[in-house]
Amino acid sequence: MAEDQQYLFIDFEFTMPEKGKKTKGFYPEIIEAGIVAVINNQIKEKFSTYVTPIRFPILSGRCKSFLQIQQDQVDHGINFIELINKFSTLTKGYRNTVVTWGNMDMKVLRHNCEQAAVSFPFRAKEIDLSMEYKRFFGDQNQTGLWKAVQEYGKDGVGHHHRALDDALTTYHIFKLVENDKRYLHNPEQTTIGDRIDLSQLFNKFA
């Protein structure tokens, strides 16, 4: 029996050091995860959680201010191993494609897995939608997530830098870009009426 195709739209928020302060051995750790699982263009599951950091458990003031995440929220979050187990449960029995905005999410996840001595949870195709967007529109620079959705004349979902809201916004941009791709591959045939303003033509000969 063929496995169903599942798309996982994922966004993480990470720890960050104080600005201008060097913290020995610091590396970004996942402290919030947002996941949107989609099968046949239907959302199967939305998942959001805080994650307790392992190496540097105390959030910096900069991190709390920028992300609006408080210490007690991550203190009461799931641990990193539980997050990995959640991914394993989500992906089981499907052909999976992981979609993120930018490449940092998967880089940090891989590094966090190495530091925790656990296996990377995905055997999946990975799509950096920001690069797809850049190539599709011919932009010189990568566009931020919310700027990209606003360029489509849409609004982002909820609040920027909230993991589930950003994952949902990534999903919405993915649908918009895929629709544009289909249109380019199968443009509707124009009629002569579309190409020529017949009313002006008739007036000319009236």
List 111, 132, 161, 172, catalytic entry: 161
Distance CA 101, CA 170 (A): 7
| Amino acid identity, position 205 | F
CATH superfamily, domain at 4-186: Ribonuclease H-like superfamily/Ribonuclease H (3.30.420.10)
The one-digit pLDDT tens for each residue of the chain (206 residues) are: 346 899 999 999 999 999 887 888 999 999 999 999 999 999 999 999 999 999 999 999 999 999 999 999 999 999 999 999 999 999 999 999 999 999 999 999 999 999 999 999 998 899 999 888 888 776 656 667 767 777 766 665 666 778 999 999 999 989 988 887 776 655 554 444 444 444 554 454 44
Residue 159 is among the residues annotated as catalytic for this protein: no
Alpha-carbon torsion (123, 100, 92, 115), positive or negative: positive
Distance CA 25, CA 20 (A): 15
E strand map for 108-187: 125-128
What is residue 176's predicted lDDT score, i.e. its pLDDT?
85
| Amino acid identity, position 176 | L
**Residue reference for tokens 């060097």:** 22
List 13, 111, 172, 188, catalytic entry: 13
Q: Are 27 and 40 in contact (CB under 8 A)?
A: no
What is residue 116's predicted lDDT score, i.e. its pLDDT?
95
pTM of the complete model:
0.82
Angle between helices 80-91 and 104-116 (to 10 degrees): 120
Domain boundaries, the chain: 4-186
Distance CA 49, CA 203 (A): 66
Burial grade of 2 (CB within 10 A; 0-12, 13-18, 19 or more): exposed
Distance CA 131, CA 88 (A): 26
What is residue 134's predicted lDDT score, i.e. its pLDDT?
81
Residue 18 is among the residues annotated as catalytic for this protein: no
